[in-house]
Structure 1
Amino acid sequence: MLVAPDGRAIGSAPKELVHGTDTPLHLAFSSYVFDTEGRVLLTRRANRKITWPGVWTNSCCGHPMPGERLVGAVVRRLSHELGLTALDIDLMLPRFAYRAVMDNGTVENELCPVYRVVVAGEATPNPDEVGEVAWRPWKEFADEVMSGELTMSPWCSEQVPQLVALGPDPLKWEPADPAALPEAALR
């Protein structure tokens, strides 16, 4: 779903047409999966991915299908990419947006609300999507990202400081009001 900077839907386009050197702003999501101990699940993107192949990132990202709610897209992608079923899904950063350019000129340009997901069980990565997974204590992971010791995808590197500002315990973060989502995500 293509969106205006104010979050209004302005059209749609196939995924393969919106990840190039002139990527229009489009709707996506990011999710951070936690276990009941508060560890975060990190993933290394599969080497076949168009954007940031082989790069470590947050748990799961994706795009809603036309007419699909973002929470539905989170559920669908968690199952497809990681074989996981969510116990809880909460909106954390309703208006996160970023633009990043790869060395080859490919651009990501997304209005990308961020979700916290709590799961029980282990991930079963889909090798077409995920090359590797690792569970990490949140504080250790966040400290390493914030200090620059750990290099993550550009969107994850921008999201972590905003999530850290929500408090030290990710399982106690106060969810955002879904009404704060961009208009395109409320359809």
Structure 2
Amino acid sequence: MAAIEVILVDRYDRPTGRMEKLEVHEKGLLHRAVTVYVFNSRRELLLQQRANGKYHCGGLWSNTTCGHPFPQESTQHAAERRLLEEMGLRLTLHPVFELSYNLPMGNGLIEHEYGHVYFAFSDELPKPDPQEAEGWRYASLGDIQQEVQAHPERFTPWFLYTFTRIPAEFKQFTTQRLAG
């Protein structure tokens, strides 16, 4: 299997180079990432349970999908590609916000990412790749918030970070999109 390279960036998301994905996570270098949240018409979020075989955070619940753009790939295309690869969904994605985080994964790996966050809306049921996701479920934001507070160890660190830092515009954007 060929090594997968990711895009190294500065704090303004300007590319500074490229490096193999595992090495980037071992060194904790800032790199570009994508995060996707898919909502259904009941305003529930599609959560993914990561496959146990993943090199970090296996078995934990997370956002619908996430990943890294390849060098020379747009974040929009990367988000669409990962959604299709992981969850078998081909949807129209909407860029919503960007954020940066530096989070230890507990196994010597670090997620130091400049993340581009996208949302999609669909009632289509996912067909996950078992190498990527071993489970999925829809849940309301309120139910997720309660579960996150009661059992944060069940979720990926980046999901805990992005979910708790969703700006007020997120809820407004979601409500407007689902109403329209």
CA distance in 2, matches of 1:158, 1:35: 22
What are the superposed Cα offsets for residues 11-59 of structure 1, whole Å, 9 maximum, x if unpaired? Answer: 0112232221x12110001111111221111011111111211111111
Q: Does structure 2 conserve the Cα–Cα contact (< 8 Å) formed by 1:166 and 1:173?
A: no
Q: Does structure 1 conserve the Cα–Cα contact (< 8 Å) formed by 2:50 and 2:59?
A: yes
Q: What's the counterpart of residue 131 of structure 1? A: 134
TM-score by length of 2: 0.85
Higher strand share: 2
Matched AA of 1:63: H
CA distance in 1, matches of 2:52, 2:31: 23
Q: What's the counterpart of residue 110 of structure 2? A: 107
Give the length in aligned residue pairs: 169
Q: Does structure 1 conserve the Cα–Cα contact (< 8 Å) formed by 2:33 and 2:66?
A: yes
Secondary structure at the aligned position of 1:115 is classed as strand
Root-mean-square deviation (Å): 1.9
CA distance in 1, matches of 2:12, 2:83: 28
CA distance in 1, matches of 2:168, 2:151: 19
Residue 54 (str. 1) matches residue 55 (str. 2): no
Residue 37 (str. 1) matches residue 42 (str. 2): yes
What are the superposed Cα offsets for residues 64-108 of structure 1, whole Å, 9 maximum, x if unpaired? Answer: 11111111111111111111111x3112222x1111112222111
Instruction: Give 1:170 deviation, angstroms.
Output: 5.8
Once the two structures are superposed, the pairs formed by residues 1-187 of structure 1 within 5 Å of their partners are 1-20=7-26, 22-86=27-91, 88-94=92-98, 96-145=99-148, 148-151=149-152, 152-163=155-166, 165-166=168-169, 168=171, 171-172=174-175
Higher helix share: 2
TM-score by length of 1: 0.82
Instruction: Give 1:167 deviation, angstroms.
Output: 5.6
CA distance in 2, matches of 1:80, 1:39: 22
Q: Does structure 2 conserve the Cα–Cα contact (< 8 Å) formed by 1:46 and 1:128?
A: yes
Q: Name whichever of 56-65 and 135-144 sits farther off.
A: 135-144
Q: Which runs of 5+ in 2 are unaligned?
A: 1-6
Q: What's the counterpart of residue 4 of structure 2? A: none
Instruction: Give 1:131 deviation, angstroms.
Output: 1.4
Q: Does structure 2 conserve the Cα–Cα contact (< 8 Å) formed by 1:142 and 1:164?
A: no
Instruction: Give 1:169 deviation, angstroms.
Output: 5.8
Secondary structure at the aligned position of 1:157 is classed as helix
Secondary structure at the aligned position of 2:137 is classed as strand
Q: Does structure 2 conserve the Cα–Cα contact (< 8 Å) formed by 1:44 and 1:57?
A: yes
Secondary structure at the aligned position of 1:49 is classed as coil
Q: Does structure 2 conserve the Cα–Cα contact (< 8 Å) formed by 1:56 and 1:153?
A: yes
Secondary structure at the aligned position of 1:123 is classed as coil
Check 1:169–1:150 CA distance in 2 against 1; reply closer, same or farther (3 A cut).
farther
Sequence identity, in percent? Answer: 30
